[in-house]
Amino acid sequence: MLTTPAQTLRCLKTTYDAKVLPVLIDKACALASINEQRAQIVPKAHGVVLEVGVGSGLNARYYDSQRVERVIGVDPYLQPKAKQRFARAGIDFVSQPLSAETLDLTDHSVDSVVMTFTLCSIPNPTQALREMRRVLKPTGTLYYAEHGLAPQPKIIRKLQHVVTPVWKPVAGGCHLDRDIEQLIAQAGFTVSGQQGFTDSVTIVGYHYWGEATLRHHSDAK
pLDDT reading at 44 higher than 90 = yes
Per-residue pLDDT reduced to its tens digit, 169-188: 999 999 999 999 999 999 99
Domain boundaries, the chain: 5-219
Q: Is 73 within 8 Å of 6 (Cβ atoms)?
A: no
Q: Is 198 within 8 Å of 210 (Cβ atoms)?
A: no
Angle at 42 between CA 219 and CA 66, to 5 degrees: 110
Per-residue pLDDT reduced to its tens digit, 61-96: 999 999 999 999 999 988 889 999 999 999 999 999
How large is the average pLDDT for residues 125-135? 98
Angle at 54 between CA 48 and CA 59, to 5 degrees: 80
pLDDT at 1: 58
3-state secondary structure of 193: strand
**Of 147, 145, 160, nearest in space to 191 by CA:** 145
pLDDT at 220: 43
Q: Which pTM does this prediction carry?
A: 0.92
Q: Which pLDDT band holds residue 16 (cuts at 50, 70, 90)? A: confident
Report the topology of domain 5-219.
Answer: Rossmann fold (3.40.50)
